[in-house]
Amino acid sequence: MLLDRPVGAGTTRSTEAVVAARRSTRAFSDRAIDAAEVRALLRDAARAPSGGNMQPWQAYLLRRPAIERAADAIRATGVAPHRAVWDDYRYYPKRFFGSYDVRRKALGRALYGLLGIERRDTKRMRQQFERNFDFFGAPVGVLMTIDRRLERGSWIDLGMFVQTVVLLAEARGWGTCVQASFAPYHRALRPVLGMEEEEILVCGVAIGHPDHRDPVNALRTERDPTDMWLRQLD
Ligand SMILES: Cc1cc2nc3c(=O)[nH]c(=O)nc-3n(C[C@H](O)[C@H](O)[C@H](O)COP(=O)(O)O)c2cc1C
């Protein structure tokens, strides 16, 4: 099955190839992206399934300078990411444990290793993390919200929508990074976006042309073998 026609990529890839090629992009080139194309992509992504076809996603499409306004509002809080309070929803457990913690630490080592950041160099780690708030230099950022009166089921639907967004972007030859890091700054972002009180800021998605010269984009994360999480019953 052909997922989509990559714009400018010159080739058409199978769904399998698109899924295999997708990875988080954390550095983008200056090349612009047409807002109309992103709007079309979001429209297409809304073909994602949702329980009862409730379509619980809400999205804010930001371009520059709106991205700078959002980043400035976050910086103006003066709250560093490691001190930010996840008071609207928690993405991570209070304590990491077991294999989840092992994988999380492996990601950190791989990411900071590629950037030549030493284990104890917390200053540079924080600087790298703060690049999240500029959508890693992407020309487009999408912030996703959901109505707080909805249940966890609708959060599954939002996740499926987000995954469809990143796969359609990959099919167009664009890079993406899903970013939960915005969530604890929802108070600062509410007036910038014009969010309603009922909305929970769930995550962002950076969208742009990957900067292939930046070593951060060389990261290829590992996956556990299927045997570790799949049980077959016949
Ligand atoms: C919901 C969600 C939130 C994420 N938040 C961040 C984030 O705030 N910053 C970041 O750099 N990466 C973030 N990521 C990217 C993950 O680190 C990445 O997906 C994971 O390490 C697997 O690597 P891959 O996407 O390259 O396959 C997030 C991913 C998801 C699905």
- The domains of the chain, with CATH numbers, are 17-92+135-213 (3.40.109.10)
pLDDT tens digits, one per residue of 7-62: 445 578 999 999 999 999 999 999 999 999 999 999 999 999 999 999 999 999 99
145, 60 in Cβ contact below 8 A? yes
Q: What is the pTM of this model?
A: 0.95
Q: How many CA atoms lie within 13 A of 186 on its CB side?
A: 21
Q: How far is the CA of 201 from the centre of ligand 1 (A)?
A: 16
pLDDT tens digits, one per residue of 165-178: 999 999 999 999 99
Q: How far is the CA of 199 from the centre of ligand 1 (A)?
A: 22
Q: How far is the CA of 178 from the centre of ligand 1 (A)?
A: 5
d(C-alpha 102, C-alpha 104), whole Å:
6
Ligand 1 pocket residues where CB is under 6 Å = 23-24, 26, 107, 132, 177-181, 203, 221
- Those residues whose C-beta lies under 8 Å from the C-beta of residue 126, and which sit 6 or more positions away, are 80, 81, 82
